Amino acid sequence: MKSKKKSPARKRIRIGIVGTGGMANCHASEFLKIPGVELAAVCDVDAKRAGEFAAKHGGLAAVFTDFKKLLLEGGVDAVSNVTPDSLHAPLSLQAIAAGKHILCEKPLATNHTDALRMARAAKKAGVINMVNFSYRNSSAIQTAAQLVREGKLGEIVHVEASYLQSWLSSQIWGDWKTTPAWLWRLSSKHGSKGVLGDVGVHILDFATFPVGKIKSINTRLKTFSNLKGKRMGEYPLDANDSALMQVEYANGALGVIHTTRWATGHANSLFLRVHGTKGALRLDLDKSYNELEICLGKDIHKANWKTINASQTPSIYERFITAVRTGKQGEPDFARGAEIQKALDACFESDRIGRAVRL
Ligand SMILES: NC(=O)c1ccc[n+]([C@@H]2O[C@H](COP(=O)([O-])OP(=O)(O)OC[C@H]3O[C@@H](n4cnc5c(N)ncnc54)[C@H](O)[C@@H]3O)[C@@H](O)[C@H]2O)c1
């Protein structure tokens, strides 16, 4: 008699989403594109928002306002934690304790100690754990990492990376002064680590995934509070909104990494340039997620650049579901999230003491 057991590739997976704000829409629609994945439960402290979210994404999910109840009664295999940054550690730890696989938004936590605790708890519980460094979804960065790994660029010497936004100087994403999702990002009281914690995590991942670990980091943070005023209702506007990092990699390369919410003229731009002794590569995600430019071989003597098209790469949502179905941990995992969190903590320490900090 044939077994009725489904192959891992088609196994039904029931997802629960906690935090049904802006980014959760992306989680829901990306998960629902994957055959066999169901949105079984959603949770938000704002009941109306959670209800509308469930209706918008298929209308089948059970709606909760208490995450503990979702874990007990929601019948989910895995949880996506899309709450504000300060809730990543406590809610993810609850999900892990309940034996749920977990995809957590970035930054993994608000400090390295908590991030390590999460990584260890997930490992001990044997659950799949991934952190949403979403720009790994670019096939160009995957190919960049492969080229460096294969030694095509020779020894890496110089790196330049930036993540530029302008929502403080423009209305590109609406009026930040009246939007809670922007206001909590400006307030350390609400757990924000500023632009560094919000998108600095992405650019640190982007600049180290292909090149390798950072050995030391010298950081200057700034909050242009005179321009913004110091408070908006319950939100003190004190979190950094510009960050400059000078880094030395473990392989000896030097790098400049920077990010700001004041890059007027840019909505959400990521750039990376990696220069080695035998070649170079550059990425501009405004132009393409799948193309990168390379200068290799004889071309380096004429500074000739060629554009190459990288093949598609599965999204983090697809990689997470594959990991849950196969039981094989996917990347980037909580350990990687904790590694980046260590660099973030070092940035704050470096800014405080005014010199480089070793990691
Ligand atoms: N990976 C990416 O590219 C990317 C992009 C955007 C946002 N994010 C991350 O996603 C997270 C959410 O960002 P957002 O812009 O959607 O914020 P948001 O403010 O729009 O949504 C957060 C939601 O969480 C809810 N919430 C707060 N406390 C809760 C609790 N205890 N239980 C349940 N729900 C609770 C809020 O009511 C809100 O609906 C942040 O950590 C952010 O850094 C990641």
Q: Give residue-wise pLDDT tens across range 98-108.
A: 999 999 999 99
Token pair, residue 132, equals 């949403």
Read off the pLDDT of residues 146-160 as tens digits, 9 standing for 90 and up: 999 999 999 999 999
For the chain, the average pLDDT equals 95
Does the model's pTM come out above 0.75?
yes
Read off the pLDDT of residues 58-102 as tens digits, 9 standing for 90 and up: 999 999 999 999 999 999 999 999 999 999 999 999 999 999 999
User: What is d(CA 123, CA 355) in angstroms, rounded to the nearest whole number?
Assistant: 35
Read off the pLDDT of residues 242-287 as tens digits, 9 standing for 90 and up: 999 999 999 999 999 999 999 999 999 999 999 999 999 999 999 9
Closest ligand 1 atom to the C-alpha of 67? 32
Kindly give the pairing relationship between strand 156-165 and strand 268-276.
Answer: antiparallel
Cα angle: 333, vertex 338, 343; to 5 degrees: 130
Read off the pLDDT of residues 176-230 as tens digits, 9 standing for 90 and up: 999 999 999 999 999 999 999 999 999 999 999 999 999 999 999 999 976 667 8
User: What is d(CA 16, CA 191) in angstroms, rounded to the nearest whole number?
Assistant: 23
User: What is d(CA 205, CA 178) in angstroms, rounded to the nearest whole number?
Assistant: 31
> Candidates 20, 23, 316: which one to mutate for ligand 1, based on the most atoms within 8 Å of Cβ?
23
Read off the pLDDT of residues 4-44 as tens digits, 9 standing for 90 and up: 556 666 789 999 999 999 999 999 999 999 999 999 999 99
Residue 2: the pLDDT is 45
User: What is d(CA 154, CA 148) in angstroms, rounded to the nearest whole number?
Assistant: 8
Residue length of the chain: 359
User: What is d(CA 356, CA 350) in angstroms, rounded to the nearest whole number?
Assistant: 6
Q: In this structure, which amino acid lies at residue 151? A: G
Residue 1: the pLDDT is 43
Residue 229: the pLDDT is 73
> How many percent of the chain have pLDDT more than 70?
97
Which residues have any ligand 1 atom within 6 Å of their CB?
A: 18-24, 43-46, 49, 67, 82-85, 87, 105-106, 132, 134, 180-181, 198
**CA of 346 relative to ligand 1 center, distance in Å:** 25
Contact of 40 with 75, CB cutoff 8 Å: yes
Residue whose C-alpha is closest to residue 196's, from 206, 185, 180: 185
Q: In this structure, which amino acid lies at residue 293? A: E
- Strand intervals (E) in 166-287: 214-222, 231-232, 235-236, 242-249, 254-260, 268-276, 279-284
**CA of 163 relative to ligand 1 center, distance in Å:** 20
Token pair, residue 103, equals 């995809």
**CA of 24 relative to ligand 1 center, distance in Å:** 7
**CA of 37 relative to ligand 1 center, distance in Å:** 22
Q: Residue 286 has what DSSP assignment? A: T
